[in-house]
Amino acid sequence: MPTPSTTLWHQLPETEVTDSLGVQPDGGLDAADIQDRREKFGTNELTVRTGKGPLLRFLLQFHQTLVYILLAATGVKLYLQDWAAASVIFGVVLLNSIIGFIQEGKALSALAALSKALKTEATVLRSGELHRIDASDLVPGDIVVLQSGDKVPADMRLLSGLELQIDESALTGESVPVSKQVAVLPEDTSLADRTNMLFSSTLVTYGTGRGVVVATGDATEMGRISTLISSAEVLATPLTRKIAKFSEVLLVAILGLATFTFLVGVWHGQPWENLFMASVALSVAMIPEGLPAVMTITLAIGVSRMAKRNAIIRHLPAVETLGSTTVICSDKTGTLTRNEMTVLQVWAGGELFAGQGIGYSPEGHFTLQDTAFEIDSKPAFLECMQAGLLCNDAALEQNEQGWTVAGDPTEGALLVSARKAGLDTTTLATRLPQLDAIPFKSQYQYMASLHHHTARDENVVYLKGSVESVLQRCSRVLAADGAALPLERAAIEAQVERMAGQGLRVLGFARRFLPPDTQHIDPRSVAEGLEFIGLQGMIDPPREEAITAIAACQAAGVQVKMITGDHALTAAAIAEKIGLSKQGGADAATTVCTGRELEAMTEAELVEAANHASVFARVSPEQKLRLVGALQANQEVVAMTGDGVNDAPAVRKADIGIAMGMTGTEVAKEAADMVLTDDNFATIEAAVEEGRGVFDNLIKFLTWILPTNAGQGLIIIVAVLFAQPLPVLPVQVLWINMTTAVLLGLALAFEPREPGIMQCPPRTPGSAILTSEMVFRIVLVGLLLLVGSFGLFEWALQQGDSEAQARTIAVNVFAVGQSFYLLNCRSLRVSMLRLGLFSNMWVWAGIVAMAASSLAFTYLPVMNQLFHTAPIEVIDWLYISAVGLVIYLVVACEKWIRLWLAQRADSLNA
């Protein structure tokens, strides 16, 4: 018996399939066969691969370089018996670890959702009798009987079927149910085109069938996707990668400077105890203790803002990742398009009519050469509309959500087009009541309905279907004036080719008059002698807001690529309409790659194709996964949308996985980092905008807080170099770091997005977290804080103040200096006056809170005792404030000079 998971069953005849599996189609397996196969292949269930346990996942929250630095500082403080400082530092670490643990709690539950999806029942033929059993008991070789409404319980080769149609959208992305047939297919047939195969967890929407099980459990296509999800590597986000690199550099800098300071002190002959305290003070001073807390809160604020714009974030770092995105890979149906088939063109009587209005709303009309017309003056057009309305099983309904279609979307589009032409369903049903009908059958590729024409007292058959099946039954064609002329196939086929080239799905319509006593019709009634009426071409139209959003993404330097299960021509037509071709220039054509082409590519060719093509059609789950990997290999930050089970592996592997909230499967949602509550591409563009705003605010915070750490570190180094008392003690350093970060720095998290944020290109993925411009500003402000703090410390000692008073002045220089510098950091490019002085009231609230804390730090006896401070004179506050004002003015001048130089360079280039 061949291995079910490796045999290409679609290329084998039915008899060869059943012979290979050792089963009789009319009898099924017996009890002995079933037991042997269950022992060999196991149960028909997906293996739930256990991930990391809760304890390990919690401990891994501490596995970050910055956290190691903070834990080391905690250990040093415990060694020095500084319990308060140790508690504060460890509390910060613990809080962030708890938040991270909670956020990641559901990240790996996609496999459990897949297993749940497989639990169903099946009707199986065993020992010549039909049995209803749990689908988990199926084995390869079982004969399964299916009918409308059943879920396919395992991968099967179809043996027989009657009008069998399967909804495979969750597996292949194909939006229309697939008609199944038993004919042998070529070996290289793609998964979405294997019409003689039935796949586990897909749904029977119409007809009946009988198939033989060829794969169960992990060997099914669904099982293969489960394996892909579990093996998909989850990459670190751009922010976590940058922070990790920054932390490593910071660790080296701290250890290097602490060692240098200690050795210099030994050279000066200072006591070892004092040098150890100085080294500890330097280490604590250089660590931005507030960074993890502010990062978490800033990301959480971004989550709240995105939720208001219909994007639900499941993992905090995903907020920033959106801002780093360089490529968005989007599904077509429902995301870029409306998922509402719409008739755009009608060809009847040798004339081409254009439909206005999109979607299922019957608002709109038809024009001829951009001109309105009287429908009664166009009998061929009227008949074409009438045929589409009467030969129809769908219903158009209006509810609170708007207009919807009950039934086939294609038939729904025909109802809407008839309504736009002014036809009323009830009136027409009264004038031409239906007597009989031939339902759609895949072997005939048409549907027909018989009606009594009360005005003419005769019966008429209307037929609709594929153009080929309709044409072969016609001998005449309806002309523009209503006369019947000899059929000219070439003219009709030319119109079909033109419409199909525009990505339209084309249906043909015909009629035949019968005697009034005809009450029933069968295939012989419509086998010949029909009059061809016309064509209707339809498409799932793009969302208007998606077109705008794609243009905004392209203006922001973000590429958009369409990855769909639909056919290449349709995908290319939609891509043209929504502007994907413009990524290669104004005259560029849309580059389309099919799944079959991707399958033949080497890894190097795939990377090249992923970079240049804008549309990928008929792709399999593995190919989606390879595409994401190819883009990431090209140093792109990839956002991937998906709604089906087939999308889950690629969604999970992408830097930012995006699932559809309305139409998405639970598997896709569990694998995603973000869920769209409105399934709209425009929401992704809004989320990218919010993500950029979040990253901007994080960079503003880093640019603001690091001068404090640099200034404190420098002041300690200078004190040791010149054998002076420490201007700030370790416990005072901790006070500065924590209070300024929470009271001042946190206000930057609430800073509104700056104008023009979506006119800038995305950040280069490999770039450092801080630009050279920001590093210069950090060093500049750090030096100003050093000069101001150390200068006033020495000045106070010379004036006869105690060391406690001098240190109090030095500490307050940092508090006041950072308050002034906070105003500079509201924008890294322009003056805060351009943003609006009071557009972020949290900044002013933070400054007031910091002032109150500094007064308490200076004058409350309990604070004097805890932090070794002492009250200072009012005149001292004037000097301290002067230092803060100088910092603000110097940075404002530096920003103005950079802005002037940039504008001058732009004018010269222009």
CA distance 543 to 530: 38
CB 93 within 8 A of CB 70: yes
Residue 140 has phi, psi (to 5 degrees) of -55, 130
Other C-beta atoms closer than 10 Å to the C-beta of 764 total 11
CB 465 within 8 A of CB 507: yes
- Which tokens hold the place of 775? 């590093």
Residue 166, strand partner residues: 178, 204
> Cα separation of 170 and 661, whole Å?
14
Distance of alpha carbon 40 from alpha carbon 341, whole angstroms: 47
CB-count burial class (<10 Å; 0-12, 13-18, 19+) for 383? buried
Tokens read off for 589: 């054509």
Q: Using CB atoms within 10 Å of the CB of residue 485, give its burial: 0 to 12 exposed, 13 to 18 middle, 19+ buried.
A: middle
d(CA 472, CA 908): 68
Joined together, the tokens standing for residue 632 give 């990431």
Check if the beta carbon of residue 337 is closer than 8 Å to that of residue 540. Answer: yes
Local structure of 387: helix, strand or coil: helix
- Taking the C-alpha atoms of residue 454 and residue 459, their distance in angstroms, rounded to an integer, is 8
- Cα dihedral 691/697/698/701 (nearest 10): 180
How far is the C-alpha of 294 from the C-alpha of 791, rounded, in Å? 31
Q: What is the DSSP letter of 526?
A: G
DSSP 795-838: HHHHTT--HHHHHHHHHHHHHHHHHHHHHHTT-SSS-HHHH-TT
β 530-539/505-514 pair status = antiparallel
Beta bridge partners of 122: 133
Cα three-residue angle 298-301-305, rounded to 5 degrees:
140
Tokens of 9: 């069953």
The alpha carbon of 480 is separated from its chain's Cα centroid by a whole number of angstroms, namely 49
- Is residue 125 within 8 Å of residue 143, measured between CB atoms? yes
Structure tokens belonging to residue 898: 């950079």
Tokens of 194: 């294997």
**How many residues comprise the chain?**
910
Strand order in the sheet with 311-313: 311-313, 674-676, 656-660, 638-642, 327-330, 559-564, 615-617, 592-594
CA atoms 50, 51, 57, 59: torsion sign: positive
Q: Hey, what are 658's tokens?
A: 């995006």
- Residue 399: left if φ>0, alpha if ψ -120 to 50, beta else—which one? beta
Nearest to 738 by CA among 277, 92, 249, 61: 92
Question: 3-state class of 144 per DSSP?
Answer: strand
Q: Which residues are catalytic?
A: 331
| C-beta neighbour count of 624 within 10 angstroms | 29
Q: Which of 847, 823, 817 is nearest to 835 (CA)?
A: 823
Identify the residue whose tokens are 């495979």: 168
Q: Is the Cβ–Cβ distance between 504 and 539 less than 8 Å?
A: yes
Relative orientation angle of helices 772-798 and 874-909, to the nearest 10 degrees: 160
Cα-to-chain-centroid distance, residue 508: 38
